[in-house]
Structure 1
Amino acid sequence: MTETTSLIPTIIQDVNTKQVLMLGYSNAESLAKTKTTGHVWFYSRSKQRLWEKGETSKNYLNVIKIFEDCDNDTLLILARPAGPTCHTGAISCFVRSNVAAAEVDILTLLNQVIADRQKKLPAESYTTELFQGGVKAIGNKITEEAIEVVQAARFESSERLAEETADLLYHVLVLLREKNVDWSAVLEVLQQRHKD
């Protein structure tokens, strides 16, 4: 991309789920801001200005890697979304009721819900209660749930083991969020170990 006024289609893809999240348009200036801030910036054709994705919703797109296609006329940005990408509240802008949505990693979706709960802290929410109790309270629940997983494995049905494991994973995700460790960081460690 050589001219500051020329626009280039920019595809955003979730680095973990590989789901295509949206299409926007970049120019040289918005691409420079994307590189310097680590958040995705576009050029808005309707507003005739630069805009940061998430500037209103706070659902930023954190840049992991930027690719140019072979003709240098399209960008692909792998990003880690801070929440739903679409202004409708959907994970992706590419969701229509008459098209089956792509299968999305449920733990990634759950992590996004937990992040939203942490941001809003809704009253009468169990997740809010956990966040208010901090690491100690969440850690105690993880210990309790881990014991229940082992007991289910030893003495109960496969269904109970699956249920208890789901409870354990939920509480681990809450702890990660409390400590500002994104679920995708755990996935990256697992992917790296898989390569080794």
Structure 2
Amino acid sequence: ILDEAVHLYKITHAQSRQNNYDKLLAIFNDTMQGRVGYLDVLIGGTLQFLEDSRRGLYSDPAWQRRTATSRMVKSALQGLTGPVIRLEPLNQDELLRLLEQITTVHSDHYNTPYSLQKPDLQIFLTEMTRRLGSDILLTPGEVVRDWLAVLNVLHQNPQLSFSSVMLGEQFQVKGFHQNNQDGSLQPPKIPNEYAEFTL
């Protein structure tokens, strides 16, 4: 597995970058043409790394020919047996399910029951996704890392509630406030005149 292959794209020296692409192409050819048995090679990169015609893989005609999308593949459908599998970003529901599964695994591993409800996970997710540029820059890895940090704090400090962790200085949920009646976190109230305008 070669992850974060976008770092090859960032190499400023053109010949060094091309030498790396040539090595990858040799590996790709060996695996696709059956010269290497029982070996899977996975390369993880961004669209920019793949499709940029100046610095990406598409700058090499051999790579472009081997990895270009077929005319037969529609935008809504994609073949999962080709050399390139394009992954869509996780949507809110998928991220929520991911957090639920992580919570279950964490709880089982540490034998710690958490009294977290779906709204708690939604509050956490709202904070993660409301940051500027999160629609493009936020990765599931960042969400998982921060969620595990919250779960670890709750595990190591059983006297703390989810609300107190989220309102703490280390992880301040901007704009959320604590409900005086039940201690739950409440999203900020936005006046109607600003309901469609957020900076």
Give the structure-2-normalised TM-score.
0.22
Larger radius of gyration: 2
Give the structure-1-normalised TM-score.
0.22
